[in-house]
């Protein structure tokens, strides 16, 4: 996120910028390799080393911007100093191991808050000249990648369907599992439609909206990835690889979808709509949870069907409200 906003303001595409970008990517790969050890043994070493490497590259980029953009030197230096201080915290946390898991997670969450605080503090020293459409494009492309997890889970269901067809002659198990990729596709299409609507994101170029929109996307990205994981849970339950209740299996999809809708309301709809339309996605996010719990009593696929149809209904109603509001504004303008 920090790199995207920096690049929107200061990407001059020269050799130094490209080399530091490669350094960022190497640090990101190292950090990704440390995710499994962190959750399995509480080992922070690879995550911290990879992240510190990434952030040192960012510090060099911000110092470079400070040199070449004197008007915002205070802002760029605040970024550089803030990143250095937070990296000292991460190194200290790594050296403090071993810690109990609850304490480690609490300190990890505090470090995350420190990371998010750096741009909020730095931008108040002077707003960097980011490009609105550039940021919208970057964020939307990442959302497409995240939603691809749902497609991947659907493809797993299709491959499992083929294996199940070879090992059983029962029609009902095949039909039940066969519904999963279809429903996953409809659900994915609905989430995509809701995000890429006619109403543009980030309609005002001010600091408050930029921070809300930028950080609010963390909810959208996490929820979009979790939807794909929830679909995979459905497949594991239906193929006997996971033994959990239908309520848990349905909740693995319902909660991420509700969070996704809430995230969209948070970063866009409450800013662009007026009246009842402003709270449409928020209402669907709240209503999804109890409805999905009722449907879970009939099995995980029934819960998935309910969630999918409910999300599709949100798409249709939102599109209808948006069109009506646009028509009203155009008529009012004519009058």
- Neighbour-count burial of 327, counting CB atoms closer than 10 A to its CB (0-12 exposed, 13-18 middle, 19+ buried): exposed
Query: Distance between CA 66 and CA 61 in Å, rounded?
Result: 9
Tens digit of each residue's pLDDT (9 = 90 or more) over 4-28: 999 999 999 999 999 999 999 999 9
What would the mean pLDDT of 113-117 be, rounded to a whole number? Answer: 93
Check residue 234 and give its pLDDT: 82
> What is the arithmetic mean of pLDDT over 84-110?
91
End-to-end Cα spacing for the chain: 44
Residue 7 has which token pair?
A: 């690049």
57-77 pLDDT tens trace: 999 999 999 999 999 999 999
Alpha-carbon span 129 to 113, nearest angstrom? 24
In the prediction, which pLDDT does 335 show? 43
Query: What HEC string does 241-267 produce?
Result: CCCCCHHHHHHHHHHHHHHHHHHHHHH
Q: Domains in the chain and their CATH numbers?
A: 2-125 (no CATH), 132-334 (1.20.1410)
Per DSSP, the residues of 207-244 read HHHHHHHHHHHHHHHHHHHHHHHHHHHHHHHHTTS---
Contacts of 304 (CB under 8 A, 6+ apart): 179, 180, 183, 184, 187, 231, 234, 250, 253
What pLDDT score does 321 carry?
64
Residue 199's closest CA among 267, 139, 142?
A: 267
Give the integer Cα–Cα distance in Å for 72 and 320: 44
Residue 180 or 107, more confident: 107
Global confidence as pTM: 0.85
pLDDT in tens, 213-237: 999 999 999 999 999 888 888 888 8
What is d(CA 246, CA 251) in angstroms, rounded to the nearest whole number? 8
Alpha-carbon dihedral 266, 267, 272, 278, rounded to 10 degrees = -20
Residue 173: pLDDT above 70? no
pLDDT recorded at residue 168: 58
Q: Is the pLDDT of residue 324 over 70?
A: no
pLDDT band of 55, cuts 50, 70, 90: very high
Q: Which residue has the higher pLDDT, 195 or 183?
A: 195
Q: Band the pLDDT of 334: cuts 50, 70, 90.
A: very low
Q: How confident is the model at residue 49 (pLDDT cuts 50, 70, 90)?
A: very high
pLDDT score, position 251: 86
């Amino acid at each position: 996120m920090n790199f995207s906003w920096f690049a929107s303001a200061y990407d001059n595409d020269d050799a130094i910028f490209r080399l530091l970008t490669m350094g960022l990517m190497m640090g990101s790969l190292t950090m990704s390799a440390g995710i499994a050890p962190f959750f399995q043994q509480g080992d922070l070493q690879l995550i911290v080393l990879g992240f510190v490497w990434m952030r040192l590259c960012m510090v060099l980029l911000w110092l470079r911007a400070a040199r070449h953009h004197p008007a915002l030197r205070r802002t760029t230096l605040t970024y550089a100093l803030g990143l250095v201080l937070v990296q000292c915290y991460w190194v200290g946390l790594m050296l403090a191991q071993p810690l109990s898991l609850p304490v480690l997670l609490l300190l990890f969450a505090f470090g995350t808050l420190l990371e998010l605080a750096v741009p909020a503090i730095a931008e108040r020293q002077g707003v960097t000249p980011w490009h609105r459409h550039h940021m919208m494009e970057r964020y939307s492309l990442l959302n497409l990648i995240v939603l691809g997890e749902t497609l991947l889970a659907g493809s797993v269901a299709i491959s499992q369907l083929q294996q199940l067809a070879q090992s059983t002659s029962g029609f009902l198990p095949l039909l039940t599992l066969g519904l999963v990729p279809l429903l996953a596709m409809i659900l994915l299409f609905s989430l995509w439609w809701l995000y890429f609507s006619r109403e543009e994101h980030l309609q005002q170029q001010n600091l408050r909206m930029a921070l809300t929109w930028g950080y609010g996307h963390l909810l959208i990205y996490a929820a979009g990835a979790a939807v794909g994981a929830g679909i995979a849970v459905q497949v594991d339950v239906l193929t006997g690889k996971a033994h959990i209740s239908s309520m848990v299996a349905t909740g693995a999809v319902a909660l991420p979808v509700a969070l996704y809708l809430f995230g969209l309301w948070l970063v866009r709809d409450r800013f662009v709509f007026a009246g009842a339309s402003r709270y449409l996605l928020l209402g669907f996010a709240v209503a999804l949870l109890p409805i999905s719990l009722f449907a879970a009593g009939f099995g995980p696929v029934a819960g998935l069907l309910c969630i999918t149809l409910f999300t599709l209904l949100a798409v249709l109603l939102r599109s209808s409200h948006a069109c009506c509001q646009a028509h009203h504004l155009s008529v009012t303008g004519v009058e």
